[in-house]
A and B are shown apart, each in its own frame.
Chain A
Amino acid sequence: MLAVSCRNVIKTYQSGEQKVTALNGVNLEIKLGELMMLVGPSGCGKTTLISVIAGILNQDEGSCRVFDEDLLHMDDREKLAFRARHIGFVFQAFNLLPALTATENVSVPLVINGVKRREAEKRAGQLLEQVGLAARQAALPSELSGGQQQRIAIARALVHDPRLIVCDEPTSALDHETGHHVMALLKDMALQKNRALLIVTHDARIFSFADRIAEMDDGLVVKVSDSVALKSAHFQ
């Protein structure tokens, strides 16, 4: 079974009186156990595509199946439940809740899924130990470095054991070394046989972590290649 299968996905936005086509017939498949990177220039439709795959936006045309489920035909409640249960997010700006401690932040997806707070925080604590932040469980995001915040974000994306992790520029706010560590951690902890990772990035230094890389341009996936090919092309 494929983790994600998009066929001829079209998405347009209304910008004033103009129609802007963000996705113009995207075809993309992501396999289980695969780390897929999505690259391309700004405005090529990467964010729109991950939003459609994550069930945050509805496409206008085409189909997008995630674990063989068609999100377009789910009602809002089903879509929310699907997202809460099966998708984990890692954001460029970390997007941790500043009022919550590290443990509380990590426990949020479990609480959304109905787990009792005490149990959720216990499991969050275990995840924080795995990402090397056992000593900072009570720290607020403002008391942590960028790398530590992103590690918390990774723990948060994994705590409810989702089947698809969607990462939006997870290393762009980090220096090279920290970014490398974060990617290594992400791949090590997140990638399993029954799970897929989709990472949007501009950062060529992390291409080597990908199993495959999809290049987008003008609302289309124009090429899918393995990481070695793209990395060598990029640095030539």
Chain B
Amino acid sequence: MNYIALKMLMADRSKFLGIVMGLTFASLIMTQQPAIFLGLMTRTFSFISDLGLPDIWVMDKKVQFVDDIKPMQDTELYRVRGISGVQWAMPLYKGLLKARLADGAFQTCNLIGLDDATLIGGPPVMLQGKIEDLRRSDGVIVDWEGAKDKLAKPAPIAGGKAIPLQVGDSLELNDHRAIVVGIAKVTRTFQSQPVIYTTYSRAKSYAPSERKLLSFVLVKAKAGENVPDLARRISQQTGLVAYSRDQFKTLTYQYFMKYTGIPINFGISVLLGFLVGAAIAGQTFYNFTLENTRQFGVLKAMGTGNWTLLRMILLQAVLVGSLGYGLGVGLTAVFGYSMRHTILAFKFPWQLLVFSVAGVSMICVFAALLSIRKVIKLEPAIVFKG
């Protein structure tokens, strides 16, 4: 009877497409919106992800997320270095600074100061120059996105294209001269501000004068050392707080989840997508069943049981569900791929596929249940009515 179910389903092309499109829409919204949401959330801790070397991040107790800097005294670095199990501990400066551009405009930038000796915490990928070039006088490394966009030099002709910042160009950082010695590729951050890397000592000279300037202490555990145990020891012995990389990521995105309206906004989009998809697909599928009531009645009169009819409807629902889901996820993937070089945040993990399968399945079950109820209650005597 399966082929009969499928032929019945596809006989009216427009209705068939209507059901599939409804599910495609629902599936698209249920994957695309969360993918953007996850992309945004991932950006909140992209700076932590880019710094792959340290196992532990040490900071002031009051820090709530990676951009919430509560500076510490430089002496804290030595206290951390003195704790057993620490292979090395390096300072990191992270702060916002205004850069004066060639046209006189100001641009807020993320200034990262790396340990002068080891340059630990540097950008993950260098596009131009070398990280060691930071040791040159007034040297800074600028991220590619910032260099070609917010920090770019004005076009020589009015209305022309801005010229990306290049190695050898200069910037003015808080009345200090800075020379671009390298261009790096870094993962976009949530605030999407240009990132400028320099040495820790030079960063302190760029930064407004403060008594405390150490943002983080980056720690590498000795081989075989239990990282959570070491983090706990550092916290206990220094009065600071030490997080493993994953703990710090969690702390950061949880802050954004809790204190921003982002999850609610995206949640509403996903819910609306689910409801609209359910309404379109459910209504069209139910209408399809209503219009085929007589046919189901004929099959019933000729001896087809309710279980067989139920199986036929479920098969129809599974088919339209699979098509709609596949198309929706496919469109989301195409969307994500085509946006990969843009500012749009997008992350599409396998868990999202599971989530959307569950959503589309719920819609299909809902649509099928409405129809199944109608068909099971159907009186086959209907076929004798002219």
Contacts and interface: CB of A to CB of B under 8 A. Distances in A.
Given A95-B298, A108-B4, A77 B305 contact: yes
A80 B381 CA distance: 14
A27 B60 CA distance: 97
B72 interface: no
Interface string B374-386: 0000011101111
A145 to B, nearest CB: 18
B327 interface: no
A111 B386 contact: no
B303 A85 contact: yes
A210 B171 CA distance: 106
A153 B305 CA distance: 21
B291 to A, nearest CB: 10
B105 interface: no
Q: By DSSP majority rule, is chain B's interface helix, strand, loop, or mixed?
A: helix
B383 A99 contact: no
Interface residues of B, number: 23
Contacts of B337: none
Contacts of B7: 97, 99-100, 104
Interface stretch (A48-56, A122-130, A216-224): A48-56
A172 B8 CA distance: 27
Contact of B4 (A57, A76, A81, A97): A97
B384 A50 contact: yes
Nearest to B10: A99
A117 B4 CA distance: 11
Interface residues of A, number: 34
B8 A47 contact: no
A99 B301 contact: no
Nearest to B2: A117
B304 interface: yes
Interface in A148-168: 168
B383 A117 contact: no
A34 interface: no
B295 interface: yes
Interface string B1-34: 1011001101100000000000000000000000
A206 interface: no
A99 B8 contact: yes
A72 to B, nearest CB: 16
Interface string B280-298: 0000000000000011001
16 contacts: A51-B384, A54-B301, A56-B381, A77-B305, A80-B303, A87-B303, A89-B302, A89-B383, A91-B298, A93-B386, A95-B383, A100-B4, A111-B4, A112-B303, A112-B304, A172-B386
Given A51-B384, A91-B298, 7 more contacts: A47-B384, A54-B301, A80-B305, A92-B384, A99-B8, A108-B299, A112-B1
Return the 10 tightest CB-CB contacts between A and B, nearest first: A84-B303, A99-B11, A99-B7, A83-B303, A47-B384, A51-B381, A95-B298, A92-B386, A80-B303, A168-B384
